[in-house]
């Protein structure tokens, strides 16, 4: 699977699960959930797509980092975009 296809599929799946967890009331922290996903994605980017450490976050959507730091909900944004 090429990197672009992988990114699109993973983002969709991570956000789908985030919405499910939020809807069921079991998502205690969006930030913690997204950080876990980003850690795995950066490792995949380095190990399978030959990304450098410095560029490893390029695989992660900026919204996953910026919104939690600003006190905004990624789940709400994703829900509105659908």
3-state secondary structure 14-26: HHHHHHHHHHCCC
Distance of CA 52 to the CA centre of its chain: 19
Contact 27/33 with Cβ under 8 angstroms?
yes
pTM metric for this prediction: 0.92
State the virtual CA torsion across 31, 32, 38, 43 in degrees, nearest 10: 160
Domain coordinates in residue numbering, the chain = 3-81
pLDDT for the residue 40: 97
Do residues 63 and 80 lie in contact, with contact meaning Cβ atoms separated by under 8 Å?
A: no
38: confidence class by pLDDT, cuts 50, 70, 90: very high
């Amino acid at each position: 699977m090429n990197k672009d296809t992988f990114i699109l599929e993973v983002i969709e799946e991570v956000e789908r699960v985030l919405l499910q967890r939020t809807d069921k009331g079991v998502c205690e922290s969006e930030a913690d959930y997204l950080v876990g996903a980003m850690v795995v994605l950066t490792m995949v980017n380095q190990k399978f797509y030959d990304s450098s450490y410095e560029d490893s976050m390029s695989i992660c959507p900026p919204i996953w980092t910026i919104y939690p730091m600003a006190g905004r909900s990624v789940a709400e944004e994703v829900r509105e975009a659908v």
